[in-house]
A and B are shown apart, each in its own frame.
Chain A
Amino acid sequence: MTPLLSVENLTVTYARNDAERMAVDSISFAIEPGEIVALVGESGSGKTATGLAIMGILSANARVGPGSAIRFEGRDLLATPERELRDIRGRRISMVFQEPAAALNPVMCVGDQVAEVALVHGERDKRAARTKAIEMLGRVGLPDADERYRAYPHELSGGMRQRVMLAIALLLRPALVIADEPTSALDVTVQAQVLALLLDLQREAQTAVLLITHDLGVVAETCARALVMREGRIVESASVDDLFHAPAHEYTRELLAAMPRIVRPA
C-alpha cells in the first residue's frame, strides 16, 4: 500500500531580522490511509510548524528547506501550484487549529463559516450547504445546532468554538485531518465525544488523522502509532503499545513520567 502522506526530509526555518531559527529539522514519516498517528512533544518542538507545512500555510517569514518533499495522494504538495492547493485544502486535507479563536472569522456567524467550506468546494445550493452545516454542527455536539448557527464566535465558549472548528474540518470528509490539540480546550466528557466522533468518521470515511497533542491519555486512548518530537526532530517513532511499555528514548520516558494521573486513596 502506498502511504496517503509521506513527509521526507522536511525542514522549516523561521527568519527574524538576519537570524534563522530552525523549527523543523529534516524529519521523515508516513501515514497510511485511515491511520491515526499521534505527534507528541515539547512545546515549541515544531509540531504545529510540521502541520502548517503539510497544509502549505506557513507564515510569510517561514521557509521550507531545499530537499524537503511532502507527498500526498500521489503528488508533491511542495511543487503544487497554490490554485490547486486551495482546492485540496478543506476538501482532501484539513486542519483543526490549536487556537480556535484565532482561526474563526469574528464577524461571520459560525454556521456560515461551516457552510462556506461546502460552497467554496463546489456546492451551488446555499440551502443544501446550510443543511449540511447544521447536520455537522449537531454531530460535533454543538447544542441547539440550528439555533446556534447564527451565533458569532465570541458568543460561544472555548469548547464550543473548538467544536465549530471540527465541523469545518470534517464537513467534506477529507482523506487527512491534521488535528492540532483538538481537545486540549475541551472538558473530558466532550473530549470523549469528540474523540469518538473522530474515530467514527475515520472508520466511516477512511479519514487518516495526524493528532498533535501533549495529552498522553488521548494518545493511549485513540492512536495506533506515535511520533515524538523534540527540538525540531523526531526522536522516537513507535507503536503506541511500545511507546508506553518500552519507550526507547530518554525524552519519551520523561514525558511518561510527567503524565498526570488520578490518584485513588488505597
Chain B
Amino acid sequence: MTARPILAVRNLRVVHRSVGFGPARVSVAVNGISFDIARGDTFALVGESGCGKTTTARAILRLIDASSGTIEYDGLDLRALRGEALRRQRKRMQIVFQDPFTSLNPRHTVGSIVGEGLIVHDLARGAEVAAKVARLLEEVGLSAADAVRYPAELSGGQRQRVAIARALAVDPEFLILDEAVSALDVTTQAQVLALIASLRDARVLTCLFIAHNLAVVQSVASTVAVMYQGRIVEQGPVTALFAASKHPYTRAMLDAVPVTDPRDRHARTPLAGDPGAGGGAEPGCAFYPRCPHPSKDAVCRAAVPPLRAPAGESAAGSAAGSAAGSAAGSSSGAEEAQGHGSAHLVACTKAVPPSL
C-alpha cells in the first residue's frame, strides 16, 4: 500500500461541446477515468492522439470544466475551488503545454515571460527577479542573455525550454508536462529530464507526464496509464507493464516503437484504422473495430470491460473483478482498484495470447 496520494482522480468525465452552425456537437473526451499519484512520484499518461490526455490535464488544472467525477489534491476538492483559493492553488500546480508557440505571449520578452510568475506570486523583487530568471534559463539549457529575446526569435526547442523555465519559476509542487519534451533534441531532452529528476528529489515535485515516446516515459515515470478513447485501458508499473503488456492496444503501441538501429528494420503492420470520433457510441470495448485479438467476440461488445487485475494475477482481482461495468459516475469496487496506483490492471475481456 502506498501513502495517501497527493492527487486522486475518480470517475472523471469531460465533455466537449462545439458550438457552431447547426446542432451543437458533443464529444466525450474523457470518459470516467480514475487514478492516483503519490507525492513525489511521476505518473505517465500515454495513448493515441485525441484519446483525452490533454483534456485530462486541463481538467485537473481547472482550465476546463469536468462534467462529473472528483479531483482531490492534497485533501482539497479541486472542482469546488473558487476565487482566491483557486489562485493560490494555481501556484502549486504548473503545466507545460504541448505547443509552446501558442502558450507564450509573443509581445513579451523571454525574461518577462519567465519572471512574471515570480512577480505575481511575490517570490522575488527588483534585481532579484532578473537574477532568478537568469538562473532558471541556464537550468533549462538557455543562456541568461536570451532574456531579452522574443519567442518568435527562438527555435521550437528553445521556446519549449522557455515554457519549462516559466513553469519551474514559481517552484510548483505539482508539474504537468504535456508533450513538453517531445520537441527537444535528444541531448537537450536528456538534460531537461535530468533537471526535472533532480528537482523531484530536491524538493518533492510530483509530475503528471504526458508523452508518446515510450522510452522517455520509462526513463522518468514509475507508473503508466494507457488511454484509449477517453478511458484507461491498462495501468501499472512502467517497466513491468512494457515487458508484459496485456491489452491489445498497449501491445500495438509498443510494437509501433521505431527501431533504434537501422539494421533492425522489419516489415510490420501498423495498427489499422482510426481511433474513431470519440464518445464511444457503440456499446462495449471501444477498441473492438481495430482489435487484432484472434478471439475477440460478442462478449467484448456486450459491456465496457472493467479495469481489473489480468487473468492469472490475483492481486486485487476478486474485489475489482466483481464490479462489472465501469459506467462513469458509478462508485463501485472497481474504483478502489483503479485508484490503486501501482497494481497492474487491464480492461480487456480476453486473456492475452502469447504473441499478438
Contact in complex: B189, A44 (CB < 8 Å): no
Could you tell me the distance in whole angstroms from the C-beta of A88 to the nearest C-beta in chain B?
Answer: 25
Could you tell me the distance in whole angstroms from the C-beta of B225 to the nearest C-beta in chain A?
Answer: 14
Contacts of A261 in B (CB 8 A): 215, 260
In whole angstroms, what is the CA distance A11 to B212 when docked?
Answer: 35
In whole angstroms, what is the CA distance A28 to B334 when docked?
Answer: 61
Contact in complex: A43, B158 (CB < 8 Å): yes
Let me know if A192 is at the binding interface, CB within 8 A.
Answer: yes
Q: Which of B47-55, B72-80, B168-176 contacts A (4 or more CB under 8 A)?
A: B47-55
Let me know if A216 is at the binding interface, CB within 8 A.
Answer: yes
Q: Tell me which of B184, B239, B277 contacts A43 (CB under 8 A).
A: B184
Q: Tell me which of B102, B183, B190, B258 contacts A218 (CB under 8 A).
A: B258
A151, A157, A216, A261 interface centre (most CB from chain B within 10 Å): A157
Let me know if A191 is at the binding interface, CB within 8 A.
Answer: yes
In whole angstroms, what is the CA distance A100 to B156 when docked?
Answer: 12
Contacts of B119 in A (CB 8 A): none
Among residues of A, the one whose C-beta sits closest to the C-beta of B263 is A241
A44, A144, A255 interface centre (most CB from chain B within 10 Å): A44
Contact in complex: B156, A181 (CB < 8 Å): yes
Let me know if B330 is at the binding interface, CB within 8 A.
Answer: no
Contacts of A100 in B (CB 8 A): 99
| Given A44-B157, A181-B156, A187-B48; A196-B260 close (CB under 8 Å) | no
Q: Tell me which of A217, A241, A265 contacts B259 (CB under 8 A).
A: A217
| Given A189-B252, A258-B190; A101-B102 close (CB under 8 Å) | yes
Could you tell me the distance in whole angstroms from the C-beta of A216 to the nearest C-beta in chain B?
Answer: 7
- Kindly state the interface size class of chain A when it binds its partner: 35 or more
Contacts of B161 in A (CB 8 A): 43
Among residues of A, the one whose C-beta sits closest to the C-beta of B47 is A187
Contact in complex: A101, B99 (CB < 8 Å): yes
Contacts of A157 in B (CB 8 A): 49-50, 54
Q: Tell me which of A162, A189, A217 contacts B270 (CB under 8 A).
A: A189
Among residues of B, the one whose C-beta sits closest to the C-beta of A14 is B153
Contacts of A190 in B (CB 8 A): 48-49
Contact in complex: A101, B101 (CB < 8 Å): yes
In whole angstroms, what is the CA distance A96 to B243 when docked?
Answer: 35
Let me know if B327 is at the binding interface, CB within 8 A.
Answer: no
8 Å CB contacts to B: which residues of A240-266? 240-241, 244-245, 254-255, 258-265
In whole angstroms, what is the CA distance A262 to B212 when docked?
Answer: 13
Let me know if A141 is at the binding interface, CB within 8 A.
Answer: yes
Among residues of A, the one whose C-beta sits closest to the C-beta of B271 is A189
Contact in complex: B256, A191 (CB < 8 Å): yes
Among residues of B, the one whose C-beta sits closest to the C-beta of A106 is B102
Could you tell me the distance in whole angstroms from the C-beta of B190 to the nearest C-beta in chain A?
Answer: 5
| Given A99-B101, A102-B101, A143-B277; A260-B215 close (CB under 8 Å) | yes
Could you tell me the distance in whole angstroms from the C-beta of A15 to the nearest C-beta in chain B?
Answer: 10
| Given A159-B50, A258-B190; A221-B158 close (CB under 8 Å) | no
Let me know if B18 is at the binding interface, CB within 8 A.
Answer: yes
Contacts of B260 in A (CB 8 A): 216-217, 220, 259, 261
Could you tell me the distance in whole angstroms from the C-beta of A133 to the nearest C-beta in chain B?
Answer: 17
Contacts of B185 in A (CB 8 A): 40-43, 45, 214, 255
* Binary per-residue interface labels of chain B (229-268) against chain A in the complex, 1 for a CB within 8 Å, 0 otherwise: 0000000000110110000000011101111111111001
Let me know if A48 is at the binding interface, CB within 8 A.
Answer: yes
Let me know if B122 is at the binding interface, CB within 8 A.
Answer: no
Contact in complex: B277, A147 (CB < 8 Å): yes
In whole angstroms, what is the CA distance A150 to B22 when docked?
Answer: 12
Contacts of A2 in B (CB 8 A): none
| Given A159-B50, A265-B243; A220-B265 close (CB under 8 Å) | yes
Contact in complex: A99, B156 (CB < 8 Å): yes
Could you tell me the distance in whole angstroms from the C-beta of B151 to the nearest C-beta in chain A?
Answer: 10
Among residues of B, the one whose C-beta sits closest to the C-beta of A109 is B20
Could you tell me the distance in whole angstroms from the C-beta of B260 to the nearest C-beta in chain A?
Answer: 5
Contact in complex: A262, B214 (CB < 8 Å): yes
Contact in complex: A144, B274 (CB < 8 Å): yes
Could you tell me the distance in whole angstroms from the C-beta of B16 to the nearest C-beta in chain A?
Answer: 8
Contact in complex: A98, B183 (CB < 8 Å): yes
Among residues of A, the one whose C-beta sits closest to the C-beta of B21 is A150
Per CB-CB distance, the 5 closest pairs between chain A and chain B, nearest first, are A159-B49, A43-B157, A217-B258, A260-B215, A143-B274
Q: A101-B101, A144-B276, A259-B260 are known contacts; what are 7 more A-B pairs with Cβ within 8 Å?
A: A42-B185, A43-B155, A44-B158, A189-B271, A258-B190, A261-B260, A263-B218
Interface residues of B (CB under 8 A from A): 16, 18, 20, 46-50, 54, 98-102, 149, 152-158, 160-161, 179, 182-190, 212-216, 218-219, 239-240, 242-243, 252-254, 256-265, 268, 270-271, 274-277
Q: What are 26 A-B interface contacts by the 8 Å CB criterion?
A: A42-B188, A43-B157, A43-B184, A99-B99, A99-B100, A101-B101, A102-B99, A141-B274, A144-B276, A156-B50, A157-B54, A158-B179, A160-B50, A185-B99, A190-B49, A192-B270, A214-B185, A215-B186, A215-B213, A216-B186, A216-B260, A219-B262, A241-B262, A241-B263, A263-B239, A264-B243
